[in-house]
Amino acid sequence: MQTDRRDGFRIVTQTARPLRADSGSSDPRLHGFRRSRLVAAWAATLLLLGVAIRAASPRVLARFFRVPHVPSGDTPAQVGLLAEDVTIDGPRGRRLRAWFVPIPASGPQPAAVVLHGWTGSASLMLPVARPLLAAGLHVLLLDARCHGRSDDDSFSSMPDFATDAEHALAWLRADPRVDADRVALVGHSVGAGACLMVAARDPRVAAVVSLSSMADPADYMGRAMRRRGVPGIAVRFVLHEIQRAVGQRFTEFAPLATIARLRVPVLLIHGAEDPVVPLADAEALQSAAPPGTDLLVIPGAGHSAIGDFLTVAPAVTVFLHRALHSASEMLADTSASRTPPAASPLSPTEPALGRHV
């Protein structure tokens, strides 16, 4: 060491030591061997790291998609509705909770399963109950797993919502007050995508009303990650691992894919100012939907305020009456095809109260 004192501060310089002669250092074969060992070591490290990340990713994703179980809000009684508190057997022994609001009528009547969106609950969907009851339908308001009053679970996704809706649909069809072949599905956001998924694989569903559905979950999540500066390679890895955790490819359950497979009438409703799912998603869904599918755009409406969607309640009533009447005709004519006719567009004279696209 050499020390040099200048202007009140000390500079310490490390004296270079002579290099020790290495008799084999000039051998190019030895250098090549060392490089090969270094490359192999790095490859092994990256491989182990990749295996560790892949093994841990389902647990990480499960934590990411685990919904904080917030208490349910208003009850039907608090908004002046008489409802039955229902418990439905769900997947893997989980209990699903719901409210069944019947109409005062004798004999089997049409019904609707109502499903909330991500971090929502049956309580948040109570505003849609009255228009459906006024249209002559029993109403079942369902809490998906990890939401509202239903049991918790380790993971939640759009396919899980769909599975819960199928359990609720089976429960509803078994009730003697319900006409099992005239049951409609009404969903919001992720719940809307789940309803489309159920209807695509259950031809007995009479109709679907979709509120604020996204078109493609992979595209939606990819956009969200890129907005936060996540590199493209990381986005692709995360989306791949989400598919692995869910157990299905996005192309199998994306609403853009399931709506194209529908053989039942569907009505799309979307807020013009939706900051979560852009209106372009609804327009893409309409393009992929069966011929005659209507899209009602509500001026000034956002994503989560369910009350905003009540402005198109008369149009929903018209749509459901048509769809349920078609279902009745299809049952009456046993020699006809099980495929119902495409829904005719709502005419300008009917009360849409929104922008008709």
Instruction: Give residue limits of the domains in the chain.
Output: 84-216+254-333
- Top CATH class, 84-216+254-333: alpha beta
Q: What is the CA radius of gyration of the chain?
A: 29
Q: How confident is the model at residue 245 (pLDDT cuts 50, 70, 90)?
A: confident
pTM of the predicted model, to two decimals?
0.76
pLDDT tens-digit map of 129-181: 999 999 999 999 999 999 999 998 877 889 999 999 999 999 999 999 999 99
What gap in Å lies between CA 189 and CA 276, rounded to an integer?
A: 10
- Checking if the pLDDT of 33 tops 90, the result is no
In 10 A of CB 96, how many CB atoms?
25
Residue 141 CB-half CA count within 13 A? 29
Which pLDDT belongs to residue 2? 56
The residue with greater pLDDT, 341 or 221, is 221
**For residue 273, with 0-12 CB atoms within 10 Å meaning exposed, 13-18 middle and 19 or more buried, which class applies?**
middle
pLDDT at 53 over 50: no
Q: What would the pLDDT profile of 197-210 be if each residue is shown by its tens digit?
A: 999 999 999 999 99
Using CB atoms within 10 A of its CB, is residue 191 exposed (0-12), middle (13-18) or buried (19+)? buried
At 244, the amino acid letter reads R
Count the neighbouring beta carbons within 10 Å of the beta carbon of residue 354. 22
67 pLDDT more than 70:
no
Does residue 348 carry a pLDDT above 50? no
> What is the pLDDT averaged over residues 314-330?
89
Residues 184-200 have pLDDT tens digits of 999 999 999 999 999 99
Write down the pLDDT at residue 153. Answer: 85
The residues near 335 (Cβ < 8 Å, ≥ 6 apart) are: none
CA-CA distance, 271 to 354, in Å (whole number)?
A: 10
Here the tokens at position 280 are 């372009």
Report residue 303 as tokens: 């994503």
Q: How many CA atoms lie within 13 A of 200 on its CB side?
A: 21
Q: What is residue 150's three-state secondary structure? A: coil
Q: How confident is the model at residue 243 (pLDDT cuts 50, 70, 90)?
A: confident
pLDDT at 11 > cutoff 90: no
Question: How sure is the predictor about 353, in pLDDT bands with cuts at 50, 70 and 90?
Answer: very low
**Lowest mean pLDDT segment, chosen from 53-67, 168-182, 231-245, 272-286:** 53-67
Q: Which of 357 and 142 is assigned the larger pLDDT?
A: 142
